[in-house]
Amino acid sequence: MTDSLLAMNGVTKRFGGVTALNDVHFDLLPGEIHALMGENGAGKSTLMKILSGVYTPDAGSIRILGEAVTISGPADALTKGVAIIHQELNNIPHMTVAENLALGNEPSRGGVLNRGELRRQAREKLARIGADIPVDMPVGRLSVGMQQMVEIARAVAEDAKILILDEPTAALSRGETERLLDLVEEMRDSGMGLIYISHRMEEVWRLANRITVFRDGAWVSTTTREEATPAQIVNRMVGRNIGNLYVNEDRIIGEPVLTAAGITDGRGVGPVDLTIRSGEVLGLVGLIGAGRTEVARMLFGADPMDSGEVTLAGKDVRIRSPRDAIAAGIGLVPESRKEQALFLDMSIRDNTVMSSLPEYSVAGVMKLRAIATAVRKQTEGLKVRNSSLGQSVASLSGGNQQKVVLARWLMMAPRVLILDEPTRGVDIGAKQEIYRLINELAKSGVGILLISSDLPEALGISDRIIVARNGRFVKEFSGTSASEHMVMMWATGVARGDVTADTESQVEKEQQA
Ligand SMILES: Nc1ncnc2c1ncn2[C@@H]1O[C@H](COP(=O)(O)OP(=O)(O)OP(=O)(O)O)[C@@H](O)[C@H]1O
Ligand SMILES: [Mg+2]
């Protein structure tokens, strides 16, 4: 057993009435990537927070290199060789890259901070992981991918033996994801042990030496990747066969509910035209930075429109604020749930009912019973895992927070619903629930604009696909005629103008070569 870098046994953790972990075990070898998988709320982040000193377990033991340890806090974890890149990043945003990298260890001369040395050390630490990031930049101004690189550089500089990555790619662009995966493999090859948490099966299959599955706070299985198939792993996570993941059935596509003509934001996005029909799911795809979120925010009145016209069900409308949009029946589930959508200290109930309050109050008095019933209906429909509707949203797992945002908009019964990356960080079982819901909404006549970076998802559930690039819409496909490959060609600008079947086979030949 002494070859094992880490062995956690009999770990149990309760939060009030919720048992987040029940007698689980997990181990790690040097030079190994061990993936930890499970549905939202399965207890993955909780176990990693125990290992990194954020939480104290109620029971269980931790051994590092064969020696029993108690981890008293994050700093203590680091001295014992454990570093974590949290699901929600932990940098101090106004401090510079160099300051973040030095944290608690600033070089000084005669009690005065030595800035030159601080910056030199920061460059050296970044160079060790091959990252090229300006060291004087405030961390808050970097992309999420770069912020992660800073955290990884810090972990490597501290000589971490165990590195935990909790959903590291959920908010990364394709390019950033590739770089991160390469780096993770390099760190493994250098002898570190890595614990990798992700809902993305392709990543797990590329990286993992072993895979452990948790379900409802309990250990289910640990296998080598070779011993398992993706379908088996999914089955163990959700406890059933998932069958067909994407749902697109029985929709009747009707009249346009929303038409936008020549809309621009005056800052490089647009002019673009867009028609969303009742009963239709319109997929809007493209690379990060293509202008998809900007279009969504303009339609919702969250950002000003510089020019262009919007019609709703045939009538001209002027949407100057989200309040106007909500009144007109347009809903938006934004991309960044923490910053733009959720009030973390408030309860599940209040977060869900927030945008529908006028409907649930009479002369300023809230109809509490009706609220409770309606909220329960939505949260149960989405299978939000919670102890009570009064529970604060902050204490929900990442994926369950996303479901609360969705529940809020479902309560509103919108005419047009814009979903910006609605399944990011959501487990596969819940994804299927969300696809079912989207299909139900479309069937009831709602027009849906789906922004997604998950191409199989966008292609799987949309009736039509629009590809955005550099602030313009460059191509439209019918749902059945789009392939992931062709969409990528347009999103990256490799394909322009009219593409024929010939070009496509040509492109495929080039790809194979
Ligand atoms: N601080 C807390 N207070 C109360 N309950 C908590 C707290 N942290 C986690 N929980 C609960 O513990 C359970 C496990 O949560 P955890 O965050 O470990 O899930 P997860 O497997 O990481 O899920 P996800 O894939 O959604 O990130 C959930 O039911 C969650 O609501
Ligand atoms: Mg988590």
Ligand 1 centroid distance, CA of 385 (Å): 9
Q: Where are the domains of the chain?
A: 6-238, 244-329+414-513, 337-412
Query: Closest Cα to atom 7, ligand 1: which residue?
Result: 395
- Domain 244-329+414-513 bears CATH identifier 3.40.50.300: yes
Short-list 36, 460, 468, CA closest to 287: 468
Which ligand does the CA of 41 lie closest to?
1
> Which stretches does DSSP call E strand in 17-88?
18-28, 33-37, 59-64, 67-69, 82-85
Atom of ligand 1 nearest to the CA of 38: 21
The pLDDT of residue 89 is 66
Give the position, in ligand 1's atom list, of the atom nearest the Cα of 214.
21
Tell me, in angstroms, the distance from the centre of ligand 1 to residue 167's CA: 14
**Cα–Cα distance for residue pair 151/83, rounded to 1 Å:** 9
Question: Tens digits of per-residue pLDDT, 277-315?
Answer: 999 999 999 887 789 999 999 999 999 999 999 999 889
Ligand 1 centre distance from Cα of residue 21 (Å)? 9
Residue 177 is predicted with a pLDDT of: 86
| Domains 6-238 and 244-329+414-513 agree in fold | yes
**Distance of CA 216 from the midpoint of ligand 1 (Å):** 10
How far CA 310 is from CA of 116, 291, 306, 374, 471, in Å, comes to 54, 18, 12, 31, 18
pTM for the full predicted model: 0.74
- Predicted local distance difference test score (pLDDT) of residue 166: 93
Element (H, E) at 277: strand 272-277
Contacts (Cβ under 8 Å, ≥6 apart) of 135: 96, 97, 98, 101, 119, 122, 123, 126
- Write down the pLDDT at residue 513: 46
Which residues in the chain land under pLDDT 70? 1-2, 88-91, 337-340, 497-513
| Structure confidence at residue 439 (pLDDT) | 92
Ligand 1, residues at Cβ distance < 6 Å: 15, 18, 20, 38, 40-46, 87, 385, 395-400, 427
Q: Which fold has domain 6-238?
A: Rossmann fold (3.40.50)
- The alpha carbon of residue 161 and the mean position of all alpha carbons in its chain are separated, in whole angstroms, by 27
- For position 234, what pLDDT does the model report? 86
Which ligand 1 atom is nearest residue 16's CA? 4
Work out which ligand 1 atom sits closest to the CA atom of 199: 25
Cis-peptide into 168, omega within 30 deg: no
The span from the CA of 120 to the CA of 113, in Å, is 13
Kindly give, in sequence order, each residue whose CB lies less than 8 Å from that of residue 226, ignoring residues fewer than 6 positions away: none
Looking at ligand 1, which residue's alpha carbon is closest to its atom 8? 395
